[in-house]
């Protein structure tokens, strides 16, 4: 994003190389424009850029008065609150490093991160987080002060250790009047290659690692994406995802400070939907599950609507399904009749629906973090919502690939973002290089070295390939990708996702590495299949019973067949069609160590635990008796016994790669 | 845990007896409530707990005994007087306006504090407008306190039971009471809802210094959060004291666990 030519004091992209400098610049250039909003006691409160800059100054000076020095770290913990965002800027003014933590972590996890990052100060939201900090001081005495943002219930706490943010800001204002030049000098000392933030990885594999990002990396990523999508200071964004997550830092902090758009903080995590309708953001980010929940809500409410409305909805949704996504992409081949019908549908159905979802003003919506189902993706696009995917990781500022407007493919994550180079390694791993790369893992030089190759490429750990138009397609984690005995590539996660996109299938586990064909375990979605069974008058006593019904097997077989038809179209993955499957007699459960806490399947563990079932899949028997030990939530153990059936799915002969004619 | 300032006696009940016809519901009950404490009344079904609460806020008038509130002795207290004195309550069976939103339900709790005439309220004019804004702010603070922002506009009838209980608590709080009477606020709740509710009761006590008189079946909750407990059984007073004292009282153990004859 290039700056408008007449910047005060001759500022350019090169001189505005840190976030505090950007903030001061906004206060001068668009001082009266709204920078932040927060809903408090039911009313939206707003702060202009010059007010934000004042508040940040007071907070920074307050921290300085508290003894915060260049290089010190401030932990930031809580829901998305303007004052917590000010904390980032305030620390960066002083040359310190903010370390946001996930607010729902337990004290032990927080203690680890605080210790690992050598944090001395913490800025937290409320009593809940303050209590955690107090608990942590026993194992981590280096924590010197806690600043809280919401004073409820904290009046009687030790005010030497805990400080109310407004008290600190008052001290800061006093400090500023005594040392009027101090802060400006500190800000001027900041350089683009200083570390601007340490974001911790979620730690699904091993202990969390602190990813050190520079101002330069985040500013470049924000400028690149702003340019790519034409973001400007009239845009408006809802800040509701965890502040410790790289996506929120890019969207709600870096991009806001680069472009000067407004961020809006919802009242609470439960009110996000209502708040979104009131604000009507123009720019939006959500992980796939949010889009999925919204769709479910719409569908459930439509079932309660009157017959006329329902018929209208169904009719126009058919129209949208047929041509909506094409019209949005600017495809010229849509017939005039369909265009007219779509216009009509827009008036009667899509427009009001967008309004209910709070997406009326939406120009650009992004999703990332997990694979999104093609039907789900198409649904939103066909409503005229410009939903796109992006690809990135904490180490790359969540900025590697973006889908360009008008050229969105359902199963790729788009083209390399501006200034990003992509290379596919021989083992299929995606390698990236560009200004947005992280500096290092905090205090872990070996880990840092491991993820960088000699040419300065970052090893993403994801396997994928570039298609003929240069769009990147991610198929799986590189370490999970295996080979069938025929030598064809086997990406279990890709197959599992294909299956999981069917609402009736909750989990799937695909096997195939070093085997002659792909087979799968399937967990049905109790809610969805239960509902289906209820409508058909099929009685069942519980999961195990329902999962063993032949009718349910037929239902799932249909899904597997459909997935196979999709897979055969993809020349790279056509041999990954599922040949045989069984429906597991119990739901995979983190309590039984079959899933991680973030609900990812632990494939190796499962294949060992259900060794007998895997062997049965690769034999030619159709039925097997099995018994499994389960753990209940209270720690008791029990045994589930069941007779499982194994079914063959329809597979299609893969033709040798067709020549493009 | 920090010390809470528990003050002097503000509600003193002496030798209270209540009968309905020949049925003796309360028999010579005496206890007091100190400012800013959490005082619980426990006992098996039919012990007279709810009757006791009804006596305190003036729904029932005891045949014998006297109640003194802030040093003033009175034999009978009318319901609206009780409210005016700063006593608010919630009910064992939820008594909310099902068709009205959470916000409006809590707003009704402010009724007593409204000074402008019904007419000026109806046309939303002059003083009434300013007053309404002030009351709305107060109600919003309660909504924030009880973390029910998401259901602000939802008709109460559509809410799950646990949430309705919380709204009812909000309405009682809206009267800014000095004493809050809670009649089985955790009945029918699951463990998580109970924990939330206990947290709110403690927070209310802590944040506003509200005196709380609590009737509750769940012994675990009572023993955890109460400062003092009085135990009733078939209208008789079995014990009175701190949770530890009550827990070890032989009569209480017999009444709760049964005794072999």
CA distance A567 to A561: 10
User: Residue B140: which of A41, A156, A271 has the nearest Cβ?
Assistant: A41
Chain B neighbours among A 48-77 (CB < 8 Å)?
none
CB contact (8 A) between residue A268 and residue B145: no
**CB of B64 closer than 8 Å to CB of B15:** yes
Q: Give which of A38, A40, A41, A301 to mutate to test B binding, by max B Cβ within 10 Å.
A: A41
Q: Does A426 touch chain B (CB under 8 A)?
A: no
Q: Does B149 touch chain A (CB under 8 A)?
A: yes
Chain A neighbours among B 165-224 (CB < 8 Å)?
203, 206-207
Report CA dihedral (B22, B25, B28, B32) to the nearest 10 degrees: -150
Contacts of A267 in chain B (CB under 8 A): 149
Please work out, in degrees rounded to the nearest 5, the angle formed at the alpha carbon of residue B169 by the alpha carbons of A269 and B25: 150
Nearest CA in chain A to B139: A41
Q: What is the extent of the structural domain holding A224?
A: 8-277
What CATH number corresponds to the domain at position A431? 2.30.38.10
How, if at all, do strands B211-215 and B179-183 pair? parallel
In terms of C-beta density within 10 A (0-12 exposed, 13-18 middle, 19 or more buried), how is residue A201 classed?
Answer: middle
Query: Which domain-ending residue is among A277, A308, A326?
Result: A277
Flag whether pLDDT at B1 surpasses 50: no
Residues of chain A below pLDDT 50: 1-2, 5-6, 657-661
Q: Give which of A40, A42, A161, A267 to mutate to test B binding, by max B Cβ within 10 Å.
A: A42
DSSP assignment of A503-523? TTEEEEEEE-TTSSSEEEEEE
The answer to the question of residue A628 being in a domain is yes
Nearest CA in chain B to A158: B2
**CB of B37 closer than 8 Å to CB of B20:** no
Q: Does B143 touch chain A (CB under 8 A)?
A: yes
Let me know how long chain A is.
661
Kindly report, residue by residue over B158-201, the tens digit of the pLDDT.
888 888 999 999 999 998 898 999 988 888 888 888 888 998 99
The answer to the question of residue A656 being in a domain is no
**What is the nearest CA distance from A150 to chain B, expressed in angstroms?**
11
SS3 content of chain B, % helix, strand, coil (to 5): 40, 25, 35
Task: Clarify whether residues A229 and A304 are in a common domain.
Answer: no
β-partners of residue A198 are A212
Nearest CA in chain A to B206: A153
β-partners of residue A382 are none
> What's the DSSP call for residue B58?
T
Beta-carbon contacts of B155 under 8 Å, excluding residues fewer than 6 positions away, are B98, B99, B100, B101
Contacts of B137 in chain A (CB under 8 A): 41
Q: Which residues of A372-393 are buried (b: 16+ CB within 10 A; e: fewer)?
A: bbeebbbbbbbbbbbbbbbbbb
Q: How many Cα atoms sit within 13 Å of A125 on the Cβ side?
A: 17
Nearest CA in chain A to B5: A156
Contacts of A152 in chain B (CB under 8 A): 145, 203, 207
Q: Which residue has the tokens 């809470």?
A: B4
Task: Clarify whether residues A291 and A437 are in a common domain.
Answer: no
User: Residue B150: which of A41, A156, A268 has the nearest Cβ?
Assistant: A268
Q: Which residues of A104-129 are buried (b: 16+ CB within 10 A; e: fewer)?
A: ebebebbbbbbebbbbbbbbbbbbeb
User: Residue A153: which of B136, B137, B203 has the nearest Cβ?
Assistant: B203
pLDDT band at B2 (very low <50, low <70, confident <90, very high): very low
**CB of B201 closer than 8 Å to CB of B182:** yes
Task: Clarify whether residues A37 and A171 are in a common domain.
Answer: yes
Q: Does A487 touch chain B (CB under 8 A)?
A: no
Q: What is the pLDDT of residue A250?
A: 94
Task: Clarify whether residues A450 and A596 are in a common domain.
Answer: no
Q: Does A45 touch chain B (CB under 8 A)?
A: no
CB contact (8 A) between residue A42 and residue B149: yes
Q: What value does the mean pLDDT of chain B take?
A: 85
Task: Clarify whether residues A515 and A627 are in a common domain.
Answer: yes
**What is the nearest CA distance from B140 to chain A, expressed in angstroms?**
5
DSSP assignment of A349-412? IIHHHHHHHT-TT-SEEEE-SS---HHHHHHHHHTT--EEEEE--GGGTT-SEEPPTT---TTS
What CATH number corresponds to the domain at position A512? 3.30.300.30
CA distance A439 to A396: 10
Task: Clarify whether residues A573 and A558 are in a common domain.
Answer: yes
- Positive or negative, the Cα torsion across A326, A329, A331, A337? positive
CB contact (8 A) between residue A268 and residue B140: no
Radius of gyration of chain B, Cα coordinates, nearest whole angstrom: 19
Nearest CA in chain B to A154: B207
CB contact (8 A) between residue B150 and residue A274: yes
CB contact (8 A) between residue B149 and residue A156: no
**What is the nearest CA distance from A152 to chain B, expressed in angstroms?**
8
Tokens in use for A66?
A: 């508290």
Tokens in use for A585?
A: 């007699």
Contacts of A42 in chain B (CB under 8 A): 136, 140, 143, 149, 152
Going from the C-alpha of B101 to that of each of A51, A146, B144, B168, B171, the distances in angstroms are 36, 38, 16, 12, 12
CB contact (8 A) between residue A153 and residue B144: no
**CB of A569 closer than 8 Å to CB of A563:** no
- Positive or negative, the Cα torsion across A91, A97, A103, A107? negative
**CB of A195 closer than 8 Å to CB of A212:** yes
Residue among A546, A633, A635 nearest A585 (CA):
A546
Task: Clarify whether residues A220 and A84 are in a common domain.
Answer: yes
Query: Which domain-ending residue is among A434, A450, A479?
Result: A479
Q: Which residue has the tokens 């005794």?
A: B259
Who wins on pLDDT, A71 or B4?
A: A71
CB contact (8 A) between residue A41 and residue B147: no
Domain ranges for chain B, please list them: 9-257
**What is the nearest CA distance from B96 to chain A, expressed in angstroms?**
22
Nearest CA in chain A to B208: A153
Task: Clarify whether residues A210 and A265 are in a common domain.
Answer: yes
Query: Which domain-ending residue is among A385, A401, A428?
Result: A385
DSSP assignment of A262-311? EEEE-SSGGGHHHHHHHH--SEEE--HHHHHHHHHHHHHHHHTS-HHHHH
Beta-carbon contacts of A416 under 8 Å, excluding residues fewer than 6 positions away, are A400, A401, A422, A432, A470, A472
The answer to the question of residue A660 being in a domain is no
Residue among A601, A583, A599, A591 nearest A645 (CA):
A583
> What's the DSSP call for residue A591?
G
Count other C-beta atoms under 10 Å from residue A14's C-beta.
7
Q: Does B144 touch chain A (CB under 8 A)?
A: yes
CA distance A613 to A607: 8
Task: Clarify whether residues A625 and A603 are in a common domain.
Answer: yes
Contacts of A40 in chain B (CB under 8 A): 144
Q: Give which of B149, B154, B207, B209 to mutate to test A binding, by max A Cβ within 10 Å.
A: B149
How, if at all, do strands A210-214 and A236-238 pair? unpaired
Q: What are phi and psi of A496, to 5 degrees?
A: -60, -45
Q: Does B131 touch chain A (CB under 8 A)?
A: no
Count other C-beta atoms under 10 Å from residue B160's C-beta.
10
pLDDT band at B259 (very low <50, low <70, confident <90, very high): low
How, if at all, do strands A121-124 and A73-77 pair? parallel
CA distance A191 to A216: 8
User: For chain A, what is the domain count?
Assistant: 4
**What is the nearest CA distance from A469 to chain B, expressed in angstroms?**
45
Task: Clarify whether residues A191 and A248 are in a common domain.
Answer: yes
ipTM metric:
0.73
How, if at all, do strands A482-483 and A489-490 pair? antiparallel
CATH fold of B9-257, please? Rossmann fold (3.40.50)
**What is the nearest CA distance from B186 to chain A, expressed in angstroms?**
22
The answer to the question of residue A402 being in a domain is no
What's the N-to-C CA distance of chain A in angstroms?
A: 41
Chain B neighbours among A 255-274 (CB < 8 Å)?
267-268, 270-271, 274
CB contact (8 A) between residue B144 and residue A41: yes
Nearest CA in chain A to B137: A41
Q: Does A153 touch chain B (CB under 8 A)?
A: yes
CB contact (8 A) between residue A42 and residue B140: yes
CB contact (8 A) between residue A268 and residue B147: yes
Q: How many Cα atoms sit within 13 Å of A619 on the Cβ side?
A: 11
Flag whether pLDDT at B110 surpasses 70: yes
Q: What is the pLDDT of residue A5?
A: 45
CB contact (8 A) between residue B137 and residue A268: no
Q: Which residue has the tokens 């997550």?
A: A245
Contacts of B152 in chain A (CB under 8 A): 42
Nearest CA in chain B to A275: B150
Kindly report, residue by residue over A469-482, the tens digit of the pLDDT.
899 988 888 888 88
Beta-carbon contacts of A633 under 8 Å, excluding residues fewer than 6 positions away, are A591
Q: Which residue has the tokens 């900025």?
A: A399
Beta-carbon contacts of A552 under 8 Å, excluding residues fewer than 6 positions away, are A524, A529, A533, A546, A583
Task: Clarify whether residues A468 and A591 are in a common domain.
Answer: no
What CATH number corresponds to the domain at position A14? 3.40.50.12780
Q: Does A152 touch chain B (CB under 8 A)?
A: yes
Task: Clarify whether residues A303 and A363 are in a common domain.
Answer: yes
């Amino acid at each position: 994003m290039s700056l408008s030519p007449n910047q005060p004091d001759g500022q350019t992209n090169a001189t505005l190389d840190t976030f505090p400098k950007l903030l001061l610049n906004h206060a001068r250039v668009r001082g009266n424009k709204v920078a932040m909003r927060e809903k408090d006691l039911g009313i939206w409160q707003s702060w202009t850029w010059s007010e934000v800059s004042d508040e940040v100054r007071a907070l920074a000076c307050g921290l300085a008065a508290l003894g915060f020095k260049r290089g010190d770290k401030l932990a930031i913990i809580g829901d998305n609150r303007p004052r917590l965002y000010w904390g980032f800027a305030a620390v960066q003014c002083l040359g310190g490093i903010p370390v946001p933590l996930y607010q729902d972590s337990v004290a032990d996890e927080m203690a680890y991160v605080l210790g690992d990052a050598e944090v001395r100060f913490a800025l937290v939201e409320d009593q809940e987080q303050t209590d955690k900090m107090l608990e942590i001081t026993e194992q981590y005495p280096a924590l010197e002060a806690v600043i809280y943002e919401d004073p409820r219930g904290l009046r009687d706490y030790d005010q030497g250790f805990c400080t109310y943010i407004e008290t600190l800001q008052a001290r800061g204002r006093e400090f500023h009047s005594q040392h009027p030049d101090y802060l400006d000098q500190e800000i001027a000392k900041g350089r683009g290659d200083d570390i601007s933030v340490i974001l911790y990885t979620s730690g699904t594999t091993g202990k969390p690692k602190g990813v050190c990002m520079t101002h330069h990396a985040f500013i470049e990523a924000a400028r690149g994406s702003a340019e790519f999508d034409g973001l400007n200071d009239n845009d408006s964004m809802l800040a509701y995802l965890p502040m410790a997550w790289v996506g929120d830092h890019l969207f709600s902090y870096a991009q806001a400070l680069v472009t000067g758009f407004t961020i809006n903080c919802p009242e609470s995590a439960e009110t996000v939907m209502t708040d979104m309708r009131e604000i009507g953001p123009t720019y939006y980010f959500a992980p796939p599950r949010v889009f999925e929940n919204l769709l479910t809500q719409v569908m459930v409410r439509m079932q309660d609507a009157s017959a006329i409305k329902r018929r209208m909805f169904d009719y126009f949704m058919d129209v949208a399904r047929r041509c909506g996504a094409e019209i949005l992409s600017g495809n010229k081949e849509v017939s005039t009749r369909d265009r007219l019908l779509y216009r009509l549908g827009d008036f009667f159905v899509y427009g009001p629906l967008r309004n209910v979802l709070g997406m009326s003003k939406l120009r650009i919506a992004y999703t990332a973090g997990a694979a999104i189902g093609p039907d789900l993706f198409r649904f939103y696009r066909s409503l005229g919502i410009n939903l796109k995917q992006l690809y990135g990781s904490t180490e790359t500022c969540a900025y590697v690939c973006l889908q360009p407007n008008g050229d969105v493919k359902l199963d790729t994550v788009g083209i390399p973002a501006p200034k990003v180079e992509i290379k596919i390694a021989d083992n299929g791993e995606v390698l990236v290089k560009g200004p947005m790369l992280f500096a290092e893992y905090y205090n872990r030089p070996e880990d840092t070295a491991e993820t960088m190759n000699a040419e300065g490429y970052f090893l993403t750990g994801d396997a994928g390939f570039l298609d003929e138009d240069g769009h990147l397609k991610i198929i799986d984690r590189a370490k999970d990708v295996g080979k069938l005995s025929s030598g064809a590539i086997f990406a279990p996660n890709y197959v599992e996702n294909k299956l999981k996109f069917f609402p009736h299938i909750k989990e799937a586990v695909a096997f195939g590495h070093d085997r002659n064909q792909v087979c799968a375990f399937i967990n049905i979605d109790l809610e969805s299949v239960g509902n289906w069974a209820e409508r058909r008058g099929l009685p069942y006593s519980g999961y195990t019973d329902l999962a063993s019904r032949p009718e349910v097997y037929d239902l799932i077989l249909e899904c597997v067949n459909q997935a196979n038809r999709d897979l055969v179209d993809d020349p790279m993955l056509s041999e990954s069609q599922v040949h045989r499957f069984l429906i597991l007699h119990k739901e995979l459960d983190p309590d039984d160590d079959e899933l991680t806490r973030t609900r990812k399947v632990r494939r190796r563990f499962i294949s060992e635990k259900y060794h007998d079932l895997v062997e049965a899949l690769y034999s030619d028997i159709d039925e097997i008796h099995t018994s499994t030990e389960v753990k209940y939530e209270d720690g008791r153990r029990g045994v589930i016994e069941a007779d499982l059936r194994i079914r063959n799915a329809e597979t299609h002969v893969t033709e040798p790669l067709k020549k493009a004619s | 845990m920090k010390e809470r300032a528990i003050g002097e006696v503000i509600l003193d009940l002496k030798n209270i007896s209540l009968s309905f016809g020949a049925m003796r519901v309360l028999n010579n009950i005496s206890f007091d409530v100190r400012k800013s404490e959490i005082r619980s009344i426990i006992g098996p079904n039919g012990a007279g707990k709810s009757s006791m609460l009804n006596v305190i806020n003036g729904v029932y008038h005891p045949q014998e005994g006297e109640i003194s509130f802030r040093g003033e002795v009175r034999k009978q207290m009318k319901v609206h007087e009780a409210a005016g004195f700063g006593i608010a309550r919630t009910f064992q069976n939820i008594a909310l306006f099902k068709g009205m939103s959470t916000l409006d339900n809590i707003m009704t709790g402010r009724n007593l504090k409204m000074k402008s005439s019904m007419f000026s309220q109806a046309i939303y004019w002059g003083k009434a407008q300013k007053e309404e804004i002030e009351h709305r702010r107060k109600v919003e603070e309660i909504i924030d306190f009880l973390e029910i922002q998401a259901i602000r506009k939802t008709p109460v009838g559509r809410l799950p039971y646990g949430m309705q209980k919380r709204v009812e608590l909000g309405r009682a709080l809206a009267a800014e009471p000095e004493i809050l009477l809670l009649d089985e606020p955790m009945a029918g709740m699951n463990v998580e809802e109970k924990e939330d509710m206990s947290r709110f009761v403690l927070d209310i006590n802590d944040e506003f210094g509200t005196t709380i008189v609590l009737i509750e079946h769940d012994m675990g909750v009572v023993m955890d959060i109460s400062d003092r407990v009085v135990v009733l059984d078939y209208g008789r007073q079995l014990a009175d004291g701190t949770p530890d004292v009550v827990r070890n009282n032989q009569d209480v153990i017999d009444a709760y666990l049964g005794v072999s004859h």
